[in-house]
Chains A and B, each alone.
Chain A
Amino acid sequence: MSLHASLRGKAQTLFGRIEIAFDAFFGGTDNPLRHLGALGLYFLWILVATGLYLYTVLDTSVEGVYTSIGYLSQEQWYLGGILRSLHRYASDAFVLAMMLHLVREWAYGHYHGFRLFSWVTGVPLIWMAYISGIGGYWIVWDSLAQFSAVSTTELLDWLPFFNEPTARNFLAPYTVSDRLFTVLVFIHIGVPLMLILGLWAHVNRISRVDYLPSRRLMLGTLISFLVLALISPAMSDAPANLALMPTDLRLDWFILFIHPLTDITSPAAVWSLIFGATILLFALPFLPHPKAQPIALVDAANCNGCSRCHADCPYEAITMAIHPDKPGHKIAIVDPDLCASCGICAGSCPSSTPFRSQEKLVTGIDMPQQPVDVMRQQLEAQLAKLEGKTKLVVFGCDKGADVHGLAGTDTAAISLLCTGMLPPSFIEYALRSGVDGIVITGCRDGGCDFRLGMKWMEERLAHQREPYLRRSVPQDRLQVIHASRGEATQLAMAIDEFRTRIETQAVASNKPPAYSRRKV
């Protein structure tokens, strides 16, 4: 195993553990670590909303910027002051969420293959966020702004781009003009607009994007900011005075850490770090990584153009086109560059039913590495061996808790590419083949490796999403257990509880009628 793979594996384990710990308090839907992208976007909307107000009251003259912003904090603390504090703290939280999102996606290996586009388009957003954040501090034109402006321009001047040192703009009080702040405001609004445009590209290849986190999470973080705004409101430091070096700076370490870093190293070292990190991030998807899995294949004869796979694909990899052989019908087309090889499409296909009598089950859209026909063969083979009082079938997910170890004389275990790959008809098929209970397990809420696998599965079971689990299937013989990778023990305990419930509640009366497949 390479050093990179080892490092990534450790980071993934660490993230996984912290996420599971957070689940205990927040649950998956409200767990901030499972929704960092959406959370970051929410913080950005707070920045936009509060920024609009700050812009309306800003006087862009040299003296005016300081006094007009200062007025908000001093005289209008109840509105402008709080909005200013929200603006500052949301910007810090945005940077924090962005960097955690980056590290988490790297740790989980979400940077190559079909995710390459999202990864690559995400890298420039980091630059934009920092350009906007650093520039935002200058607009206040206090001693911190002065320090940041001088330090940034001195850093920029190390690059061989400028004819005249940009730091000359902040040489002495006489070099700063009113127009500077007009330009700064223009940059501070323009760059975030580009950031929003970049975000659109960033999520462009994802369907059903979480543009916002859950309401509880939004409320929780907003209350945190408000409390912070009241306890420790954002205030300006002393007015900028270029004739003096600012001392005892109340530095924002989330955004302005680059200045002390330059001081303790050198501009050359900092630029090497910045460009090196950027190149590394761009190059990461092209470094050696696990081989891509085979993509979904459409069988024209069995595709009736129902569009369910198109609706369920989490990565917009499936489009519908005119069927070449069936007049008036459509056919699914898979984009190889976008396909995540999750198999959710196979689970959504109405042809993926094991009740079909053909010896070889061919469905409309299938995964070459785990065709629906093989799933049926696996299931039938394991069902034939089951013995004992209470026979269970566990359908698991390759990305979630390992289910292979659960197989035993009274338990069949089948691991799928993603739990969302399971056609609900397999559940009915197993029950009608003599099984007493079905366990479906997959990643924790908000932690699905393919984003929507567990969500779609649960909606199918609840008759909210096609293909439905038929209403005749007794729900009390069904147990959904969320268990992420590394939670095999917890999964085994939950299955034992389920088995005990089936045995003690004596639900034998509602067992669906037995069925034996007619084989052609």
Chain B
Amino acid sequence: MAKPAAIVGQIILYGAFAAFIGYFATSPTYQQIPDDVALIKLSMSHLGGRECRKRTPEELAALPPNMRAPMLCPRGRSDIKLVLELDGKPMFETMMHPTGLSGDGISTVYKRFEVKAGTYQLSAKMNDNLINPGFNHVKEAKVTLKPAQVLVIDFNPDKGGLFFQ
């Protein structure tokens, strides 16, 4: 091919290359959730309870003096039951199992729920030691979710247990 034609061809092809890179580097735009939707994220990382009991005086006496801990706790942790309700209707229910080969690790959950923006009655109930009936942690609140807002449901004993943020 004649040189000027080749140069023009190169300019066109380099331009096409730049345009291809430039376009797909930012376009088309992506929308992960619709405009009128908010997100509720449930995420917890919590140690389940243990079924501890007091050692009897006989048991304590049988132990070496340096090992006479008054409480006897098994290594394994309890499953954790969690229930979410939105406007009084069940939204999510799970049984979180402890991690670790001996079942002595934390129990975790991570879920995301897309809901229409609006005001809701949100309720989270948790039982972290299943030897006890019912729920020992409960959080209920009226929440107003704006479009694209992320509401987090988490658990932190230092913040009073279950909390919405």
- Do these two chains really belong together in a complex? yes
Residue interface mask A435-474, B partner, CB < 8 A = 1: 0000000000000000000000000000000000000000
**Is A231 in the interface zone, CB < 8 Å from B?**
yes
Beta-carbon contact of B105 and A249 below 8 Å = no
Chain B residues with Cβ below 8 Å from A171 are 41, 43, 152, 154
Decide: A243 near B32, CB < 8 A? Known: A165-B45, A168-B110, A228-B21.
Answer: no
A-B contact count (CB 8 A): 126
Q: Which of A18-26, A195-203, A281-289, A386-394 contacts B (4 or more CB under 8 A)?
A: A18-26
Decide: A25 near B1, CB < 8 A? Known: A167-B110, A220-B10, A243-B149.
Answer: yes
Name A153-211 residues within 8 Å CB distance of B.
Answer: 154, 157, 163-165, 167-168, 171-172, 174
Chain A residues with Cβ below 8 Å from B13 are 22, 25-26
CB distance from B89 to the nearest CB of A (A): 23
CB distance from A143 to the nearest CB of B (A): 10
CB distance from A425 to the nearest CB of B (A): 35
Considering the complex, give the chain B residue whose CB is closest to the CB of A224: B18
Decide: A244 near B26, CB < 8 A? Known: A25-B10, A224-B18, A225-B18.
Answer: no
Beta-carbon contact of A249 and B45 below 8 Å = no
Chain B residues with Cβ below 8 Å from A243 are 149-150
Decide: A224 near B108, CB < 8 A? Known: A167-B43, A243-B149, A250-B26.
Answer: no
Chain B residues with Cβ below 8 Å from A147 are 32
Chain A residues with Cβ below 8 Å from B45 are 164-165, 168
Residue interface mask B95-122, A partner, CB < 8 A = 1: 0000110000110111010000000000
Considering the complex, give the chain B residue whose CB is closest to the CB of A93: B21
Beta-carbon contact of B14 and A220 below 8 Å = yes
A96 to B19: give the CA distance in the assembly, Å: 13
A88 to B24: give the CA distance in the assembly, Å: 12
Interface of A is mostly: helix
**Is B31 in the interface zone, CB < 8 Å from A?**
yes
Name B63-109 residues within 8 Å CB distance of A.
Answer: 99-100, 105-106, 108-109
A244 to B9: give the CA distance in the assembly, Å: 47
Name B107-165 residues within 8 Å CB distance of A.
Answer: 108-110, 112, 148-150, 152, 154, 165
**Is A245 in the interface zone, CB < 8 Å from B?**
yes
Residue interface mask A221-239, B partner, CB < 8 A = 1: 1011101100110100000
Beta-carbon contact of A249 and B106 below 8 Å = no
Decide: A231 near B22, CB < 8 A? Known: A223-B14, A247-B148.
Answer: yes
A164 to B17: give the CA distance in the assembly, Å: 43
**Is A246 in the interface zone, CB < 8 Å from B?**
yes
A232 to B31: give the CA distance in the assembly, Å: 21
**Is A252 in the interface zone, CB < 8 Å from B?**
yes
Considering the complex, give the chain A residue whose CB is closest to the CB of B6: A25
**Is A273 in the interface zone, CB < 8 Å from B?**
no
Beta-carbon contact of A249 and B32 below 8 Å = yes
Beta-carbon contact of B25 and A252 below 8 Å = yes
**Is A251 in the interface zone, CB < 8 Å from B?**
yes
CB distance from B94 to the nearest CB of A (A): 13
A89 to B22: give the CA distance in the assembly, Å: 7
Beta-carbon contact of A163 and B108 below 8 Å = yes
Considering the complex, give the chain A residue whose CB is closest to the CB of B153: A171
Beta-carbon contact of B32 and A246 below 8 Å = yes
A248 to B110: give the CA distance in the assembly, Å: 25
Chain A residues with Cβ below 8 Å from B21 are 89, 92-93, 96, 224-225, 228, 254
A164 to B107: give the CA distance in the assembly, Å: 8
**Is A120 in the interface zone, CB < 8 Å from B?**
no
- How many of chain B's residues have a CB under 8 angstroms from any CB in A? 42
Considering the complex, give the chain A residue whose CB is closest to the CB of B15: A224
**Is A263 in the interface zone, CB < 8 Å from B?**
yes
Beta-carbon contact of A24 and B41 below 8 Å = no
Beta-carbon contact of A252 and B18 below 8 Å = no
Beta-carbon contact of A248 and B152 below 8 Å = no
Name B1-55 residues within 8 Å CB distance of A.
Answer: 1, 6, 9-10, 13-15, 17-18, 20-22, 24-33, 35, 38-39, 41, 43, 45
**Is A368 in the interface zone, CB < 8 Å from B?**
no
A88 to B15: give the CA distance in the assembly, Å: 17
Decide: A165 near B22, CB < 8 A? Known: A220-B10, A248-B31, A249-B30.
Answer: no
A172 to B14: give the CA distance in the assembly, Å: 43
Name the residue among B6, B26, B33 with the largest chain A CB count within 10 angstroms: B26
Chain B residues with Cβ below 8 Å from A324 are none
Chain B residues with Cβ below 8 Å from A96 are 20-21
Partner of A228, one of B18, B108, B112: B18
Considering the complex, give the chain A residue whose CB is closest to the CB of B39: A245
CB distance from B148 to the nearest CB of A (A): 4
Beta-carbon contact of B29 and A224 below 8 Å = no
CB distance from B151 to the nearest CB of A (A): 9
Beta-carbon contact of B150 and A242 below 8 Å = yes
Beta-carbon contact of B27 and A250 below 8 Å = yes
Decide: A165 near B108, CB < 8 A? Known: A89-B21, A247-B35.
Answer: yes
Residue interface mask A31-51, B partner, CB < 8 A = 1: 010000000000000000000
**Is A275 in the interface zone, CB < 8 Å from B?**
no
Name the residue among A27, A147, A253 with the largest chain B CB count within 10 angstroms: A253
Q: In the A-B complex, list the 7 residue pairs whose CB atoms are closest, starting with the nearest.
A: A25-B9, A165-B110, A224-B18, A250-B26, A251-B30, A245-B148, A253-B24
25 A-B interface contacts by CB (under 8 A): A26-B10, A26-B13, A96-B21, A154-B112, A171-B43, A172-B150, A221-B14, A224-B17, A224-B21, A225-B21, A228-B21, A231-B22, A243-B150, A244-B150, A245-B33, A245-B148, A245-B150, A246-B32, A247-B31, A249-B31, A250-B27, A252-B25, A253-B24, A254-B21, A263-B32
Besides A25-B10, A164-B108, 15 more A-B contacts (Cβ < 8 Å) are: A24-B6, A147-B32, A163-B108, A165-B110, A225-B21, A232-B22, A244-B150, A245-B38, A245-B39, A245-B148, A249-B32, A250-B27, A253-B27, A254-B24, A259-B30
